[in-house]
Amino acid sequence: MSIHPSAVIAVGARIPSSCTIGPYCTIGPEVELGEECTLISHVVIDGRTRIGAHNTFYPFCSIGVPPQDLKYKGEPTETVIGDGNTIRECVTISRGTAGGGGITRLGSGNLLMAYAHVGHDSQVGSRCILANSATLAGHVTIEDDVTLGAFCPVHQHCVLGAHAFIGGGTIVTQDVLPFSLTSARRENKAFGINKIGLERKGFSPERLRRLQKAYRYLLAAKLNTTQALEKMRALEGEDVALLVEFIERSERGVIK
């Protein structure tokens, strides 16, 4: 095991011999690391934190730290992180709260750029990108393959649908439609499907065509949401069905 002499590792921490722990890192007694994780330097990992394999943590990030919630009184809550994530400089990921489910969760294959924040009880899927200073308040859900632009704050309890792309500087206060390109100019709007991003992920022309037709009903036709959903239900394809289901279960309303 490669552990720098200046690192402070509490008794009880579980660290495989394949991990690399750099200078001035601090690891708490209830932390469990997977194979081949790398802590470059000045990394703090604390609390009941379980981390998978092949994760890289850059300097000054803080993982599993107490939530920024005045109701938190030291309850034994958790942080769970999957495999193959890249956590860049000064990222903060807070552990969960007893009232919010108790677990903050990050999937696999994510990139969290510098100064991103994942608030307590948030649930982030896999293969997501949180650009610089993207900020998740507590209880946010991000589904798989979402890109959240720089300097985007996300309000509590919002849901960001799968494959969505949110432009930098967008203040997210409602749910973001899956597959959408959503951004703020004068006000937050969905501008249709994230066509380029979906093509890069292997979506066929037929899948894109069906999604574009669904979005025309939702955004371009002079229909209210209920009328648009009736039209969309008649379309074929799992992607459209996912979109319809997302809108129907939204509690905060969706950005149109």
What are the catalytic residues?
120-121, 138
Q: Rounded CA gap, 81 and 135, in Å? A: 18
CA distances from 167 to 4, 185, 206 (A): 40, 10, 26
Q: Write down how long the chain is.
A: 256
CB 178 within 8 A of CB 194: no
Number of Cβ atoms within 10 Å of the Cβ of 224: 8
CB-based contact 121:97 (threshold 8 Å): yes
Tokens of 103: 């677990």
| CA 98 vs CA 20, 33, 69, 140, 209: distances in Å | 32, 23, 11, 16, 44
